[in-house]
Structures are given as C-alpha cells and as structure tokens.
Structure 1
C-alpha cells in the first residue's frame, strides 16, 4: 500500500551443515525381524538447532493409527514438524499420525521430520516405541496405555505455522488461518529521519490489537534501516532498528499472535511508469527488490529469527515489474529470476534469490510471496512459483477497492486456482471510502474458503487516504475499521 503524504549486514551465523545419516540398528542380534523398525537421522545441524527425520516401518499386522515416542536426553526441544503431530513433554517426544497417513499396513513405512533446538551436543535417542511396542528389537509391548493422540502443549504462545497442501497447519496438524492487521511505520519513519515506529508499540497498544481478536500482525520493514546504511540516521539504523523490531516481535508473540516480517521499501533508482519516487534510496515502493542489498537483508533477518519458527517472512510488499516491462512473460520472469529486467535500471533480486538467501541460513520459517500488479495479480503465480527446498512457501495477495482484481469474478478465475494448490494469504485488504462494504465482501469470499487476510492498517491516519483502521492506539476503530474489528470478534464468538 502506498502511504499518505507525511510532513551493516549482521554476520551469517550457524549455517546449516549437512551431516551423514545417523541410523538406529534395525534388527536384533539374533537376526529376528523386530515388530517395528525406526530409522532416525539428523539431516542438518547448526549451532543452536538441527533438523531430524524418522522413517517408521511396521513389520506386524496393519495399523489404523500410529503413535511413535522417543526421548531426547540432551536437552533438545522440538519446535515444529511435518507429516506427524509432534509434541514434547520433558524429554519425551511424541509423533502421532496425521489423518492422511494413519493407515500403516504390514511391511509399510511412513516418514516424518522435525526441527529442534539444542545447546552443545546432540545425543541420538536409543529407544523408540510404536503404539507401545519397542522397535528395533523383538521385545513385545511394554506400555499399551500410550495415547494415540497426544495432547496439545497448550503453552499459549504463537503457533508454528507450516504449509500442508493448500492449508496452513500448526505443530499439532490443526488448520490455521492468519487473521489480523498491518502495523505500518517501520518502513518509512526511519528513512525519513523521524523515528522507527509511527505511534506507540508498547504493551498496551499491542494488547489492543489482540483485543480485536487478531491472531497475526504484519510488520513492514525498510532494508536500508535494517542494514544500517550510511544515509540513515544512526539512532534509527542498524542494531537500534533491529532491536526495535525484535522487541515488537516479542510483544506480538507474547499476546499469542503471529509476527509477520515484510520487506516494504528497498534500494534502487526507478523513474519509469508508476514510479513512486526518483530517489535511489529506500524511500518509496520500488517495482522489484534490488540485488545489491535485498538478499543481504533477508540473510540477516533469517539469521536473526531462524530459531523462532513462529515468525513469518513476507518477501516483498508489492512488486510491479509489469509496469516497467513490455510483456507479461518478461514481468513474471523478472519476478521469479531477477537479474537484468527490461525497464528497471538496477540489478533485480528475484523471488527465487530471496527464498534461496533465507534457506541458506538454515531457516525453515513460513515464506510468503506476492505476485504482480502490487501483489494484486496472481494469474501466473503457480507457473512461476519459486522452488522452496523446505516446502514452506505460500502465496500473498493484496486488494483494495481501487485495484483491477477487486470483484468476485476475478477472484474466482485467478485466486481460486492458486488457493486450490497452496495457502493464500491476503496480506493487505482495505478501502479508501471510510466504510467497510468492500472489505466485507473480501472477508466473506476468504471465509467461505478458509483463507487468511489482514487489514491495512493499524495507524491513526485519515481513513479516506490511508486507509486506517483506528483513530486511537487504544483500538478505537474508524468507520472503516469497525468492519474488521466486529468481524474478527464475531469469528471468535
């Protein structure tokens, strides 16, 4: 969203190091086939964490549900996982089947993986139980009362979200939607020399967002401020800026909401069609991110938050290479691959470059990528979807009443096919009418399909030009914002 008129790279640490597979022996000393076999492996490891995997083979009668338990005795803590419902109580880790992989026939196998933190060593578990039966040995059942559906940890913190098919799920496998607001300020205040945030970001103001029953807060950022480049005043740059972002993320998480970090304004001079400014610096929305600084920005952000998988990364606010290039194909190729793009005078970082920068740090956080036309066009998103080795990439979309794709016919033809294959998140919805009739239509379409959306914006601007959701940071809504507030509260009873 464009805003109303207003009067040094962190070191890469803990890069993942590929390790050899560590596998627990699968047969007994006598050569007898065990009732079940578990192969446990550490597939990658870094200073403060690792990625693990299990392959479970059932050597007895077919099972209609399975439950694997083992102990991590070295202080490791599982933070997220996939292909199973993962939980941990003390040292005991439980992986229970998902609804789609509960059938485990005789001789059949199933694999699942997880991310865990560690400090110091990384001791390999020695004993595995499948539905109470010790695996990798010919011993019989030892604990038939082991549960097949582990309880939710219920720690009250923000969920760890992961892509599963076309849905977002938490660590327990429960489908989740991101519903909330944008908290603008971090993208423009610093580059304008006026501070870091626009308005308060204290505990009370963040609690006011949660009081609307929001579960997600999108936080726009500025790459020059994060990286501490020389054109930014030192008090608003580098470590001061990074620490302010970390503090706001912590407040959002403490209120049980998902923090979404989004790159809004970037470096690179663009004066072509629909240019927001002629400045080379990150003082307006550019058509694409720049290769000079943006991969470094995401490397630094990913290193800062890779051990907090509740944080979501939104790659770039509103790409519009379609306004610079002469063909749609050129625009989508520029979007994905970057490089030298027609009509853009700087070297572009494509969405693939940014995904690669994040994953190279070992971060497996959920990533969002918006399409063309200020993220309003997803017509070829699936065809040009970046490759994500973590399989944790979702589509982002923006819509306002003045956008091209702002009616149900367009949503049905261009959004529905995307939403059928990957999670779809409307990172910005809004209107500049000081009413909420349009966003009501958007929310209904997304509600009917179980999709995510966030209102623009939690700032006290004029709702006719912002648009802004609030008139006070205590959560008092504008005539526009009351629509989102009342809707979110109604969804939560």
Structure 2
C-alpha cells in the first residue's frame, strides 16, 4: 500500500508530544568487577510517557536463562517492550529473556527496551538484580550460585523450527536441501512511517506475544516495511527513533520473527526525493511517503547497510522497493521500464533515481547472497515487461514481486494468466501485498486460489488494527483477532499443510 490510513495518524494526534531523547546517568559502584552491570537510559519522552532501555552485562558464570528485576519509584507503568518478556506488579518490573536471547556467557551483553507511562517525575531505578544477584556493586568474594528462574507458564519458550536459508532454483524458492518453499503470511506495517513522524518505531506491539499471535495463523513469512532515513539516522529524524535505535529495533524484530519459525522480508517502503508530479503521495523531500522510484543519494547506502547487517543470515529476504510507479511520471511504458531498471535521470522525476540494477549491485557488493525481490511498475501491479528488463544478479537469487488489490488494473485471472504466468514460469513469483478495501475477503480468496493452484507465494496487507474501510487491516486486536477481511487469509493459511 502507498500509505497507512490517515485515521491512524489522527487518532494519536495530540496524544504524543515527543521530546528529545535523554540518556540518564548510569550508577555503578567502584572497586572489584560487579557480578553484573546494568545501564539504564531514557531514549525518548513526552508528557505522559517515555521510552527506556536497559543494557545488561553478565560478568559472572554463564547462564542459560535470565531475569532482570528493578522497581519504579514514581508510579511509572510499563505498557509494552521488546527483546524481553516485560511484566510489572505494583512498582516491581521484570524483564525475562526471550527464547532466542536467553544464553548469556561471561562478559556477554544483552539489551532490551520498553515504553511506559509516567507522572510529573521519572526518576531512575536505583537497584537492579540479574537472576536475584544485585548488579552495579562490588562482587562478593564468595558469591552464592546464581539461581535459574523457570519460564512463566503464560509465556512458554518458543519451540518453532528456525526458518530456512533460501535460494532460487529455476522458478522456485528452495531451502538448503532443495525442497520447495513458499512465502505465505502477512505484512507488519509501522516501521516505514512511525519514525519519520516522530512517534516511535513500530505501530502497535512487536513483543514476543504479538509475534506469536502472527505465527498462530500458520504464517511462515512476515514482511517488514522500512524507512531509509530512519535506518540511516539522517538529521531530520529524532535520534530516539533513528539510526542505531532503529537498526537495533529492526534486528530485534527480525530475530523474534525467526524465533517463531517465520521468514523475515525486510523491505524499503518510504524514501528520500522530492516528487510533485502525477500521483504524488506528498510534496516533502524527506521519506514521508511513497515516491515513484528510489533515490540515488541514499537508497544504495541503505541497501549496503541492510545487506551488511543481514548477509550472514540467508533466511532474511530483501525486497528492494515497495511499489515503483515511474509510469505515472514518464510518457511511455518503455521509458518507465528503462527508468525502473537503469535509474539515472528519469522523465518527470526531479531527483536522480536509483534503478533496480543499482540496488542489486549495492546488495551483492557486500557479499550478501540473500534472495532479492524486485517489484514491477504501476505500484508493483504490472509485471508485463519484467522479464525483458529484469536486473542482472550474479548470484542468480532474484525473484519477482507483485502487488494486487481489488482496485488495481491487473486484478483478474485473465490478466494474471497473460502477465504473471510467464514470469512465474521463469523465476519465483511473490505477491508481496494482497488485499481489498471492501472489509470482506471475496477478492483475496480469488487471488489466493490462483496462487495456491500454482504453488506461488503471497502476503496479506496488513497486520495492523486500522479501519478496514480506509486500508485493508487483517486484525482488530494484536492478539490475532481477525477482521471480516482477515478471516479469509487466516482460514486459508490454517487450511494449508504445515
């Protein structure tokens, strides 16, 4: 989709007036090395709440599970968190490890973050305990053994298999054993717009319970839209939400998705470059909306950084650019496809464009062999000349991406048979977004049947609790309660084998 519904923005307008992130002093004792150290910081705050983080270093014997406890003195209340299972009883706060980050060797470090409400004051907690041992104070010469906490019955350890490393073989995605794999699941919107609007990083919770709810639909893939200015930490982005904070949050979500056995697709959604022509989403030069094409100034750097971050994990799929629409700016279809592949100076677009070949080159220059998705023109709804203009990939791990909604031009079996089937015969085809704005699922049922009959991949838009009439929303609650529209995708996925 080109943008989240405006109702999402208006619902929170006036509620969150974000301030500058503040790092509070860390209180550590002098003397011998403590058994554990905890650095506590406030990374952003507003009138009624704040975002905080803890960095835990285990200086004692290795542990396989951990639990950090501390107390708030001013009535602060944790609302949600990430990279730990956060809970609170009265003033006492507990952050217990996730299934994927429980092992802490001697000298190992783990970080976690949270969002909480606050009153007029927001004092720093004064004491932290890791598995019952007081941190930030001198070690006792004869420490008692570190107790091993048990997992809470309400948050059992995840037992899902790790997602497979993927590669392209002919027109299929396959795992290391050569078995065919499909990407079937959902989009998790928020990372493309929250940060650039100064409202956070994610729209809604992305903690372990929230990700588990996605997996419960028999989802095996989650597509994660991103913003290049937030990832690169450009000067217009609040540092509490951009740069390292944003990258770490994305890495945490990717790890959590994988911990539940699902394939993460990291995708570039909003980019830099001023465009005010036909079908412009905004007049802003910054990455505050969908642009017709990625920009040469920042997008190759974005993909270089993303590829370096995930190149050692071939379970992560790279989706180069959400929905190219150079066809709305250029005079001819040929010009649009040339712009799509080659970039440069494109008719009707006032900034230097990064073509799909530029982005493939940026990824491969890092040594990354991850599968790459490249969507066609007309908001990824037109793959008519995709095979003619497809970029060259030295690794052979390039797949085609397609988006379809009931209001698109290519939204019927006749068009799919004539334009999609030839592409799917040569390369893997992934419908990165499917959806409809009718608050029902009659259209996506047709889409899923066509793709299922051919063993192809599809991802529903979107796992967010928006008003389905202004943007296709699969859920009404982050516990996985489906909307009438989302019921179609949930039931279809649950009916599939494994």
User: Scaled by the length of structure 1, what TM-score is found?
Assistant: 0.70
Are 1:346 and 2:351 counterparts?
Answer: yes
| Structure-2 separation of matches of 1:293 and 1:392 | 24
Q: 1:328 aligns to what?
A: 333
Per-residue CA deviations over 1:324-358 (Å, capped at 9, x if unaligned) read 00010100000000000000000000000000000
- Is 1:442 aligned to residue 447 of structure 2? yes
- Structure 1 residue runs of 4 or more that deviate by more than 2 Å after TM superposition: none
Q: Does 1:487 align with 2:492?
A: yes
Q: Give the distance between the partners of 1:487 and 1:327, measured in 2 at CA.
A: 39
Residue 111 of structure 2 is matched in structure 1 by none
Q: Unmatched 5+ residue regions in structure 1?
A: 8-153
Which residue in 2 is equivalent to 1:179?
184
CA-to-aligned-CA distance 1:175-196 (integer Å, 9 cap, x gap): 0100000000000000001000
Deviation at 1:161, TM superposition (A): 1.1
Equivalences for 1:44-443 in 2 at 5 Å? 156-443=161-448
How many matched pairs?
347
- The CA deviation at 1:492 is 2.7
For 1:4, the equivalent position in structure 2 comes to: 5
Residue 155 of structure 1 deviates from its aligned partner by 8.8
Cα displacement string for residues 60-90 of structure 1 (whole angstroms, at most 9, x for unaligned residues): xxxxxxxxxxxxxxxxxxxxxxxxxxxxxxx
Distance in 1, Cα, partners of 2:426 & 2:182: 16
Confirm or deny: 8 A CA contact 1:166 1:419 kept in the other structure: yes
Residues 433 and 459 of structure 2 are in contact (CA less than 8 Å); yes or no, is this contact kept in structure 1? yes
Give, in whole Å, the separation in 2 of the partners of 1:383 and 1:251.
38
Do 1:426 and 1:452's aligned partners in 2 also have CA atoms closer than 8 Å? yes
Deviations 1:247-283 (A, max 9, x none): 0000000000000000000000000000000000000
Following the alignment from structure 1 to structure 2, what is the Cα–Cα distance between the partners of residues 449 and 391? 22
The answer to whether the 8 Å contact 2:160/2:259 transfers is: no
Provide the TM-score with structure 2 as the length reference. 0.69
Aligned residues of 1:213 and 1:492 also touching (Cα < 8 A): no
Superimposed CA distance per residue, residues 433-478 of structure 1 (whole angstroms, 9 cap, x where no aligned partner): 0100000000000000000000000000011111100000000000
Write the distance in 2 (CA, Å) between the matches of 1:389 and 1:420. 20
Contact 2:160 2:260 (8 Å CA) reproduced: no
| Matches of 1:427 and 1:160, distance apart in 2 | 19
Q: CA deviation at 1:308?
A: 0.8
Distance 2:186 2:497 in 1: 16
Partners of 2:231 and 2:268 lie apart in 1 by 10
Task: Please give the alpha-carbon distance, in whole angstroms, between the structure 2 residues aligned to 1:431 and 1:338.
Answer: 31
The equivalent position to 1:455 in structure 2, one of 436, 460, 465, is: 460
Give the Cα separation in 1 of the matches to 2:269 and 2:367.
Answer: 23
Q: Distance in 2 between matches of 1:207 and 1:395?
A: 28
Is the CA contact 2:437–2:472 (under 8 Å) kept in the aligned structure 1?
A: yes
Determine the C-alpha separation between the residues in 2 that align with 1:334 and 1:411: 24
Distance 1:351 1:273 in 2: 21
- 3-state DSSP class of the match of 1:236? coil
Specify whether residues 234 and 155 from structure 1 end up closer, same or farther in structure 2 by C-alpha distance, changes over 3 A only.
closer
Preserved contact between residue 160 and residue 261 of structure 2 (Cα < 8 Å): no
The one-character-per-residue Cα deviations of 1:5-32 (angstroms, maximum 9, x if unpaired) are 122xxxxxxxxxxxxxxxxxxxxxxxxx
User: Whole-Å Cα distance in 1 between the matches of residues 457 and 223 of structure 2?
Assistant: 12
Residue in 2 that maps onto 1:102: none
User: d(CA) in 1 for partners of 2:173 and 2:317?
Assistant: 12
Distance (whole Å) between structure 1 residues aligned to residue 273 and residue 170 of structure 2: 36
Provide the secondary structure at the position in 2 that maps to 1:298: helix
Q: Counterpart in 2 of 1:49?
A: none
For structure 2, list consecutive stretches of 5 or more residues without a partner in the other structure.
Answer: 11-158
**1:347-397 CA distance string (max 9 Å, x none):** 000000000000000000000000000000000000000000010000000
1:24-35 alignment runs, 5 A limit: none
